[in-house]
Structure 1
Amino acid sequence: MVLNILKGLALTAKDIIPVSLFLIVFQIFVLKSPIGDIKPLILGIVLSTVGLYMFIKGLEIGLMPLGSSVGSKLPLLDNKLLVIAFAFILGYTTTLAEPALASLAMEIEELSVGTMNNKWLIHAVATGVGIGISLGMIKIMYSIPYTHIIIPMVLIASILAYFAPNSITGIAFDSGGVTTGPVTVPLNMALAIGLSSVISGSDPLLDGFGIIGLASITPIIAVLLLGIIVKF
């Protein structure tokens, strides 16, 4: 047990330490700027390593098995509308828990001097993700080719971006990016794979993936619509 933990920490450190060293070397030798107090820096790297390891292990033993288990049992409901509604609620609520989205919304409200309400943005993005996850469930249950859904969504986003105010366009596309966070991705992806693994004729490799892409494009559409309606 202890040996496995040490191996896991070592693997995590291999991801964090090279990036940290690159930044340190760049600051010292290229920017010609001193690091300052080295102790907080070392402590931060250590805490980041331990925290990332614990988060990954938490996903492996908790969130992902739970999402996969729930997804594999959704057909027991024998009600596709209920499955779609569940997917929407899950996508909506997991997005509200994303720290990156909250940070983005606060920055936008501050920079816009309150003209862009952060709650409106957060709920628009969460609604978009909920719709995206629901579309993913529909795709799996009805064996709809992925391109038949994603291409129209991209076209809709492109058209809305043309008509939306310039002040909201960049925010909308960044909002789609922050939804691919540490809470939304593993749980919803595991849910989709779990569902596709028990649907007759469905291949988890073909049908279980792509749901995160849908959950990224639909919040862009939602925020663009918000900008057009509210006219920031």
Structure 2
Amino acid sequence: MTLEQTALDWLEDLADTLAGTLLDVVPIASVLFGFQYLILRRKVPNIGRVVAGFIYVVIGLTLFLVGLEKALFPLGRLMATQLTSPDFLGLVPELATWSDYGWVYLFAALIGFSTTIAEPALIAVALKVQEVSGGAIRAGGLRLAVAAGASMGVTLGTLRIIEGLALHHLIIGAYAVVIVQTLLAPKAIIPLAYDSGGVTTSTVTVPLVTALGLGLASVIPGRSPLLDGFGMIALTCLFPMITVMGYAQMAHLLARLRARRATKSPSAPPSSPEAPS
């Protein structure tokens, strides 16, 4: 394929993606502007900045989606293929056990953590939580807790594909933990924990995790991409609920221990007037 043909293919893909992005964004803009002008009957403040923002959104989403299709999706499939190849494992895949795929688990954990940390939806939610809570909940701590949960979910999803475990067993077990934590966790953190699971399933995490799952299911003997390749997203958005509530429970417990120690410790004697300041 010549360089000119490659450039034309890229431009064609870019144009198709741009058209699809416009079809996705136009209904959102129609609802917002329609309610502003027809229901509220008020002008949109700073209309120029708002329109420019929508243009930036369309351009950014278009480039991002093209990048996913051209780079991240193929890279995810390639990594899954290479990490499970007989040359890398040093044995025949049919004879491999779950413990022979250590590098796959490590890659899955790092992918789950790094993509969640970079998730724009999580960043936006974390900053708003820090603002609303007056700094009581730090954005960085929340992002780390959610990313740790997503990393656990992706790793468990990888183990499920390799071992052929039943997805519903894992989902039921994890939700049992969530229900118990919901009864024990501080009430103020529960809604945030449930929302934290949802914000992981967005533009960065979903494509890479899906590509990894489909890639593994395509190369692991006896696995079906349709039956086994999906389901990792469910685990990825489930485990952040556990880690966020666990993070809140641990912080609450440490705060109670510090308060108890402060209550039991004797008060310091008052300093004499002759003592130097």
Shorter-chain TM-score tier: over 0.9
User: For residues 15 and 115 of structure 1, do their structure 2 counterparts lie closer, same or farther at Cα, with a shift above 3 Å needed?
Assistant: closer
Deviations 1:183-220 (CA, angstroms, capped at 9, x unpaired): 11111110111011001110011111110110111010
Counterpart position of 1:17: 26
Q: Report how many aligned residue pairs link the two structures.
A: 232
Percent identity (aligned): 37
User: For residues 114 and 47 of structure 1, do their structure 2 counterparts lie closer, same or farther at Cα, with a shift above 3 Å needed?
Assistant: closer
> How far did residue 4 of structure 1 move?
4.9
Counterpart position of 1:64: 73
> How far did residue 38 of structure 1 move?
4.0
2-structure distance, mates of 1:88, 1:25? 44
Counterpart position of 2:94: none
2-structure distance, mates of 1:106, 1:37? 23
Q: Which of the two has higher C-alpha Rg?
A: 2
The match for 1:28 among 37, 42, 60 is 37
> How far did residue 37 of structure 1 move?
4.8
> How far did residue 3 of structure 1 move?
5.1
Confirm or deny that 1:40 pairs with 2:61.
Answer: no
TM-score, normalising length: structure 1: 0.92
> How far did residue 138 of structure 1 move?
0.5
Counterpart position of 1:128: 149
Deviations 1:71-99 (CA, angstroms, capped at 9, x unpaired): 12221343222321221122112111112
| Higher-RCO chain (CA-CA 8 Å, sequence separation at least 6) | 1
2-structure distance, mates of 1:136, 1:214? 7
**Higher mean Cα deviation, 85-94 or 99-108?**
99-108
Deviations 1:79-126 (CA, angstroms, capped at 9, x unpaired): 222321221122112111112222222222232222223332221111
The answer as to whether partners of 2:113 and 2:148 remain within 8 angstroms in 1 is: yes
The match for 1:194 among 201, 204, 215 is 215
Q: Which runs of 5+ in 1 are unaligned?
A: none
> How far did residue 16 of structure 1 move?
1.3
Counterpart position of 1:100: 121
2-structure distance, mates of 1:133, 1:213? 9
User: For residues 3 and 108 of structure 1, do their structure 2 counterparts lie closer, same or farther at Cα, with a shift above 3 Å needed?
Assistant: closer
User: For residues 41 and 125 of structure 1, do their structure 2 counterparts lie closer, same or farther at Cα, with a shift above 3 Å needed?
Assistant: closer
Counterpart position of 2:3: none
Counterpart position of 2:111: 90
1-structure distance, mates of 2:46, 2:149? 44
